[in-house]
Amino acid sequence: MNKSELIEAIAASADIPKAAAARALDAMTDAVADSLKNGDNVSLVGFGTFSVKDRAARTGRNPQTGEPIQISAAKVPSFKAGKALKDAVN
């Protein structure tokens, strides 16, 4: 499912126009991104938790030359599915 299909599904489920569903989806993704940028977690009970994890610096290899390269530390977004979502998938 891509973004436009998700917007159609939200519009049909909530009985709202597609434009309103698109604005709601954009607002939700922006709110999650802003919260993660500020270092906060976003917990949606039954669905899951969005958080930020620290990835340590490490040594990698250039695939073309095989030379070792330094990969710097980074913060990466993470999602952990909740029990209800896991149960719905299985």
CA distance to 29, 32, 40, 68, per residue, from 3 (Å): 11, 16, 25, 38
CB-based burial of residue 45 (10 Å sphere; 0-12 exposed, 13-18 middle, 19+ buried)?
Answer: exposed
pLDDT at position 27: 97
Pairing relationship of beta strands 58-61 and 68-71 according to DSSP bridges: antiparallel
User: What are 56's strand-pairing partners?
Assistant: none
CATH architecture of the domain 41-90 equals Irregular (4.10)
pLDDT at position 21: 96
Q: How far apart are the first and last CA of the chain?
A: 18
The CA distance from 57 to 11, in Å, is 43
Domain ranges in the chain are 1-39, 41-90
Global confidence as pTM: 0.80
Q: Each residue of 12-63: pLDDT tens digit?
A: 999 999 999 999 999 999 999 999 999 999 999 999 999 999 999 999 999 9
pLDDT at position 86: 94
pLDDT at position 25: 96
